[in-house]
Structure 1
Amino acid sequence: MKTVLITGAAGFLGSHLCDRFIKEGFKVIGMDNLITGDLKNIEHLFPLEHFEFYHHDVSKFVHVPGKLDYILHFASPASPIDYLKIPIQTLKVGSLGTHNLLGLAKVKNARILIASTSEVYGDPLVHPQSEDYYGNVNTIGPRGVYDEAKRFQESITMAYHRFHGLETRIVRIFNTYGPRMRLNDGRVIPAFMGQALRGEDLTIFGDGSQTRSFCYVDDQVEGIFRLLFSDYSYPVNIGNPHEISIRDFAEEIIKLTGTNQKVIYKDLPADDPMQRQPDITLAKKLLDWSPKVDRSIGMKITFDYFKNLSEEELYRSEHKDFTNHIKR
C-alpha cells in the first residue's frame, strides 16, 4: 500500500484530495494546523484504518515516521480575506513550509506535488494565461504576500528538482469551487452564495467586467491526480477555460438561488486581476484532461451544500478566529 502525505488536509481542496486517495487505496496521512481548515471536512475519515491526522504547522520542522511515497503540499491560506489577515503566516507556509516538505521528500525519496496558483500570473497582460507566461505581479502590494509566496514556492521546488534530482510536480490551480468551501472567505462563489442565503444584495467590486473561470472540485482533483502520476516536472494549469464576467456571474447566482437581490458596486481592491482564464492546452496533451462538470450542475451542488448546513456549521463556515496566529 502506497502512503501519501497531504498538507492542508482539513481545507476545501485538501479534504477532497484525502477522499480521492482513500478511494484509490492509499494510506493517507493528513496534516493541518487548522488556521483556515476545519476538522469537519475530514471527520468522516477518522474511523478509517488507512487514515491518520497530524495537527501540525508545516512552517515548523516536519517529521513523519515510516515510509512516504508521495507528498501533496496544499497547506496555505487561499482566499483574500485569509491571507490579508495573516500575511506573514501566508509567506511562511509558502517559503519555510515548502522548504520543510521538500526536505522531507528528499529524505523519504518521495515524489512531491506543490499546489501553486493562477495568482502567479498577477493581473495578466496575456490572455488566456499559458504556463510560459511569467506574469505581472506587484511584489509589494497587499496581494503580494500570496502571489510571491507561490512564486517562491515554484522556484524552490524547481531548485530541488534540478540540484537534488527530486521528483517534483507543480499544479497551477485556477478558481475552484464546490462543497466544503467557507462562506465569506473573500472568494467570489462563497461570497455571492452567502449573501444570497442571507437575503443581502450581491456585492461586485469594480464594474463587474473582470472575468473569472470556475472549475468544479471533482474536475480539479482529477487533474491533480493525473499530474502527480505523470512524468512532467514543470508547472501545469488545471482549471476550466470557460470564462465569465463577474457581472454575468452575479446574475447566474440570482437565478440559481431564486432570489431577487439587487447587485451593488464597490471599489475594486488593489491589484485585483481583471482577467483570469487558463490555457489548458498542456493539460489536455500531457494528461488527457479537461473539465467535465458543467457550471450549472456544479453550482447547484454547491448551493445545495450551503443551503443544507446547520446553523452551527453556517456560523463556523462564516467565522474563522485567527487570534492565536496573528502575533507569530
Structure 2
Amino acid sequence: MSDLPAGLPMAVPAAGLPEAVRIHEVGARDGLQNEKTTVPTEVKAEFVHRLAAAGLGTIEATSFVHPKWVPQLADAAELMPLLADLTARDPALRLPVLVPNERGLDRALELGVTEVAVFGSATESFARANLNRTVDESLAMFAPVVARAKAAGARVRGYLSMCFGDPWEGPVPVAQVAAAARRLYELGCDELSLGDTIGVATPGHVTALLDELTGSPAGGTGTGTTGSPTNTVPVDRLAVHFHDTYGQALSNTLAALQKGVTVVDASAGGLGGCPYAKSATGNLATEDLVWMLHGLGIRTGVDLDRLSATSVWMAEHLGRPSPSRTVRALTHQEQ
C-alpha cells in the first residue's frame, strides 16, 4: 500500500517547465453543451460552486448562444445570477462566458459579465459548419464584439478551433493556423486558446505551431522575441485546448509547457466534445492534468480529491461514470 496521501502523486520537478499553471476549466460550458439530457440550472450552478471550492480560479460558466443551436445552455441568463455569490466572496474568481455575436455580448453585459470569449476557426469548412460564415466573415463579425467588450472593460478570450486537423479538410498547415491565430489575436483578444478540436495533434506538431506563432526558433523557449511584433503572438497570451481522442492530450500539454505556455484548458471529469464535429470526443480531463502537473511540482491551486469528488457527483447526475482515468483511480469508480 502506498504511503502517499490520496490525490497526491510524488512530485519530481523537471527542468524547463513553468512553476505554476492556470487551468481554464471548461466543464460547465464545453463539457455540458453536448449532453442530450437537459441538466437543471440548479445543478449547473452547484457544479460551478463545487469547482470553485476545489480551487479552480477560472471557470467558463456558460454560453450566450441562441438556444436553437445549443439547447443545453439556453438557461445562461438564469444561471449567471446563481453564481453572483461566488465572485462576491472571491473577486479574483473568473467566470467567463462564450458570446457568438453582438447580441450575445449584450445579454452577457446586461448581467454584469466581465469576461467573454469568441470562437473562431482556422479552417473554412468548420467556420461554415459552426458559424455559417467564411473565416473572413467570422472575423468581421467578431471585430465589433471584441471592441465593444473591451470598451466595456471586459476581458476577451479568442478560441481558435481546428488548429491541428479538420474532419472535412484533414491536416491543417501550420502556417495557415498561425495566420488565422494572428488575425484573431490582432482584433484585441487578451488571450488566444489554440484548440485541437478533434484530438489529432502530437507533440511535434504542437511545438511546430507554437514556434511558428511565437517566432521562436526550433528548440527555442517560445518567448516570441525573435519574430516581428506585427506577426507574432507572445507566448504569455497563449493557451492550449486539447481533446484526448487518440490519448495524446497530456503529451501535447507537456510539449506546450516546454515552449512556455502556462494556461491550459481542461474539463472536469473529461466531459465534452463539439456539436459541429462528430469526431471530437472528450476534452482533456482536469483531474488527469492536475495529476501530471502536481507530479511535476507545478502549482495549480487545485485540491485534486475535491475535484474528483465533484466529477463523480456530476457523473451521477449524467447517469454514467467519469471517463477520467484519475477520477476512476482515486475513487475506485468502475469504467
Higher relative contact order (CA 8 A, sep 6+): 2
TM over 0.5: no
Report TM bin, short chain. Answer: 0.3 to 0.5
Q: TM-score, normalised by structure 2?
A: 0.36
